[in-house]
Structure 1
Amino acid sequence: MIELKQLTKIFDTGKGSLTAVDHVNLSIATGEIFGIIGYSGAGKSTLIRLLNGLEQPTSGTVQINKQNITDSKGLELRKARQKVSMIFQHFNLLWSRTVKENIEFPLEIAGVPKQKRQARVSELVELVGLTGRENAYPSQLSGGQKQRVGIARALANEPEVLLCDEATSALDPETTDAILDLLVDINKRLGLTIVLITHEMHVIRKICHRVAVMEGGKVVELGDVLEVFQSPKEEITKRFVAQVTEKEDSHETIKHLRELYPTGELVKLIFIGDQAEQPILTKLIRNFPVEVNIVQGDIAHTQRGAYGTLILQIKGEPEQIAGAIQFLEVENVQTEVMANA
C-alpha cells in the first residue's frame, strides 16, 4: 500500500540546514493501522506531510498503491491527494458551518451532485455516531464530537489512506479511548489503511498493529506492537513503553514493594499474547513447594493480543525459588527479579 524509500527532507533555516526526515524506509500494508511515535522535533509531522504531498522530499520516494506521488504534479497530484485524507489535533472545522455542512464541504469541492452529497453525509453521520447533531455548529460540540466531524469529513471522498496527526492529543483520556475505538471500527468496516502519529504510547498500544519509533529524523526502531512492548531495544523506545508500564517499574514503587515484602524474591513477569490466557501460576505452584503472593498486576489489550505484567512475591528455599524462576523462563515468560531477600 505505502512504500517510503530513502525518504529525506532537509529544510533551509537561513542559518543552515535542518534534516527533518533522514533516509526513512517504511512499508505499510493495506488495511494496517500503523503508528509513528516520537517526541517533538523527531520528524514525524514532516513525515506525514510528505505522505500526503503537502511537502516535497529533498530526496527519496513516496509510493501509494504503486503510484509515485513525489513525481506527481498538477491534476495528477490532486487526484493522488484525494486518496489520502487527514485528521488533525485541533479539528480544523469550519466554524460557520454545521456538522453536515462541514462533512459535505470536500464533496462540494470535488463537484459531487447535491443529492449524492446529502446521501453520503447521512451515511457518515451515522458511521461516526453523530445522529441527531447534524445541524449543530462546532461551538455547540464537545471535543470528541468535533473530532468525529473531522473523521467523517476526512472519509467523505472515500480515501484509501487516513492520516491522523496527533488526533487525540487535545482530548481527555475517556474521549481519547472513544475516538480510538471509532478508528478501529472504521478500519475493520472499511478496510481503511490508517497511519497515526503520536507521542503517547497508550494510543499505539490500544489500536496499532505495528509501530515505528522516530528520533532525530530517523526510524530507530520498527516492529509489531506486542514485540516492541516485550523487548524494546532503543532507550527512547523504553521510555515510551514506560509511559504505560511506569507504575510497575518506577523506582519509588519498587522501593515501596521491597519494604512491604522484605522476604523471598520479588519477580516481575511479562505475558505476551496467548501467554496471558495460560494458567502459568497454577503450574508453578503445583510443581514447586514455594509460596506465591500476587503483589501487583495489570493486563492490557493490543490489536495483536494481550500484554500483561504481574509482580509476584515468591517465598521458599533458595533452590526452589531458583527452580521456579527457571520454570517461568522455560515457559517463555519474560522474568525479571526486582528485589532480593
Structure 2
Amino acid sequence: MITLSKLAKIFHTKDGDVRAVDDIDLTIDKGEIFGVIGYSGAGKSTLIRMLNMLEAPTSGEVDVAGRPMHSLSKGKLREARQEIGMIFQHFNLLWSRTVAENIAFPLEIKGVSKQDQKKRVDELIQLVGLDGRGGSYPSQLSGGQKQRVGIARALANDPKVLLCDEATSALDPKTTDSILDLLVDINAKLGLTIVLITHEMHVIRKICHRVAVMEAGKIVEQGDVLDIFRRPKQAMTKEFVKQVTEPEETEEALNHLLDREGIGHVLQLTFVGGDTQRPLITDVVRKFDVDISILQGKISQTQHGSYGSLFVSMNGESATVQQAVAYIREQEVEVEVIHGG
C-alpha cells in the first residue's frame, strides 16, 4: 500500500543543513494500522507530511496506493490526495462552519452535488458518533468531538489511507482512548490503512499492528508491536516500552523496595499472549525451595494479544534461585534480574 525508498528531507537553514529524514526505507501493508513513534525533533512529522507531499522530499521515492507521489504533476497530485485523508493535533476546523459544513467541505471542492453531499455527511456523522450535532459549531464542541469532526472530514472522499499527525496529543487520557477506539472501528469497518505518528507508547500499544521507532531522522527499530514490547533492542525503543510497562510510580516504588534488607532477588518477568494466563509463579514455588513475593504487575492489551509485566522478589539459596530463573526462561518467559543477580 505504501512504500518509501531511500527517502530523505534536508532543510537548509542559516545555521546549516538539517537532515530531518535520513535515507528511510519502509513498507506499510494495506489495511494495517502502522505507528511511527519518536520524541520531538525525531523527524516523524516531516515523514508523515511527505506521504501526501505536503512536504516535498529532497530525495527518494514515495509510492502510495500504486501512485508515485514524488513524481506526479500538480493535477495528478491533487487527484491522488483525494485518496489520502489527514487529521491533525489541533483539529484545523473551519470555525465559521457547522459540523456538517466542515465535513462537507472536501466534497464541495470536489464538486459533489448538494444531495450527495448531505447523504455522505449524514453517513459520516453517524460513523463517528456525532448524531444530533450536525448543526453545532466547533466552539460548542469538546476536544474529542472536534477531533471526531476532523476524522469525518478526512473520510469524506472515501480515502484509501488515513494519516494521523499526533491526533490525540491535545486530548485527555479518557478522550484519547475513545478516539483510538474509533480509529480501530474505522479500520475494521472500512479496511482503511492508517498511519499515525505519536510520542506516546500507550497509543502504539492500544491500536497499532506494527511500529517504527524514529530517532534523529532515522528508523532505528521496527516490527510487530507485540515483538517490540517483548524484545526491544535499541535504547530509544526500551525507553518507549518503559512508558507502558514501568510507569514512573512503579520505578519509584521499586527503588524504595530495593533499599530494604532481605528483599532478595528482584526479577522482572515479561509474559506475551497466552503466557499471561499461566500459573507460572505457583509452578515455580512447587518445584523449587524459594519464596516469591509479587511487588508489581500489569497486563496490557495490544492488537495482536496481551502483554504482561510482573515484578517479583525471590528468596532462597543462590543456586536454587538460579535454577528457578533458568526454569522460568525455559517456559519462554523473559526474565531480567534487576537486583541480587
Instruction: Report the AA paired with residue 133 of structure 1.
Output: R
**Is 271-280 or 96-105 further displaced after alignment?**
271-280
Describe how 1:167-246 pairs up with structure 2 within 5 A.
167-246=167-246
Paired residue for 2:141?
A: 141
Deviations 1:191-210 (A, max 9, x none): 10000001111111111111
Contact 1:35-1:210 at 8 Å conserved across structures: yes
Q: Distance in 2 between matches of 1:238 and 1:28?
A: 23
TM-score using structure 1 length: 0.96
Identity across the alignment (%): 60
| Equivalent in the alignment of 1:58 | 58
Do structure 1's residue 69 and structure 2's residue 72 form an aligned pair? no
CA spacing shift, 1:328–1:6, aligned 2, 3 Å: same
Distance in structure 2 (CA, Å) of the matches to 1:231 and 1:264: 25
Give the RMSD, CA atoms, in angstroms: 1.7
Cα distance in 2 for residues equivalent to 1:130 and 1:200: 26
Pairwise CA distance, 1:296: 1.0
Aligned to 1:307: 307
* 1:75-90 alignment runs, 5 A limit: 75-90=75-90
1:249, CA displacement in angstroms?
Answer: 8.9
| Other-structure match for 2:7 | 7
Q: How does 1:313-324 map to 2 (within 5 A)?
A: 313-324=313-324
- Once the two structures are overlaid, the 10-residue window that deviates more, 281-290 or 235-244, is 281-290
- Unpaired segments of 5 or more residues in structure 2? none
Q: Report the secondary structure of 2:247's partner residue.
A: helix
**1:95 and 2:85 equivalent?**
no
Partner amino acid for 1:79? Answer: E
- Alignment gaps of 5+ in structure 1: none
Give me the whole-angstrom Cα distance separating, in 2, the residues matched to 1:329 and 1:261. 27
1:100-115 equivalence runs, <5 A: 100-115=100-115
User: Is the contact between residue 4 and residue 61 of structure 2 (CA under 8 Å) also seen in structure 1?
Assistant: yes
Q: Determine the structure 2 residue equivalent to 1:269.
A: 269
Deviation at residue 90 of structure 1 after TM alignment: 0.3
> What letter corresponds to residue 320 of structure 2 in structure 1?
Q
Q: 1:161 to 1:261 in 2, by over 3 A?
A: farther
Q: Is the 8 A contact 2:257 2:263 kept in 1?
A: no
Q: CA deviation at 1:260?
A: 5.1
User: In structure 2, what is the equivalent of residue 330 of structure 1?
Assistant: 330
3-state SS, counterpart of residue 11 of structure 2: strand
Task: Specify the SS of the correspondent of 2:70.
Answer: coil
Return the alpha-carbon distance in structure 2 between the equivalents of residues 117 and 329 of structure 1: 59
1:98 maps to amino acid: T
Structure 1 contact 268–337 (Cα < 8 Å) conserved: yes
Counterparts of 1:227 and 1:249, CA distance in 2 = 25
TM-score normalized by structure 2?
0.96
Query: For 1:261 and 1:73, how far apart are their aligned partners in 2?
Result: 71
Does structure 2 conserve the Cα–Cα contact (< 8 Å) formed by 1:254 and 1:338? no
User: How far apart, in 2, do the equivalents of 1:177 and 1:14 lie?
Assistant: 42
Distance in 2, Cα, partners of 1:175 & 1:263: 40
Moved more, 82-91 or 258-267: 258-267
Distance 1:313 1:40 in 2: 37
Task: For 1:330 and 1:249, locate their aligned partners in 2 and report how far apart those are by CA, in whole Å.
Answer: 31
2:86 partner SS: strand
Q: 2: CA distance between counterparts of 1:145 and 1:247?
A: 29
Higher mean displacement: 87-96 or 50-59: 50-59
Q: Any conservation in 2 of the 1:221–1:237 contact (CA below 8 Å)?
A: yes
Cα distance, 1:290 vs structure 2 = 2.5
**TM-aligned CA deviation for residue 248 of structure 1:** 7.5
Cα pair distance change 1:248/1:298, threshold 3 Å: farther
Deviation at 1:84, TM superposition (A): 0.7
Counterpart Cα distance in 1 of 2:89 and 2:166: 5
315-324 vs 158-167, greater mean Cα deviation: 315-324
Contact kept? 1:53, 1:70, Cα under 8 Å: yes
Q: Does residue 42 in structure 1 map to residue 37 in structure 2?
A: no
Q: Is the alpha carbon distance of 1:154 and 1:183 closer, same or farther for their aligned partners in structure 2, counting shifts above 3 Å?
A: same
Q: Is the 8 A contact 1:242 1:249 kept in 2?
A: no
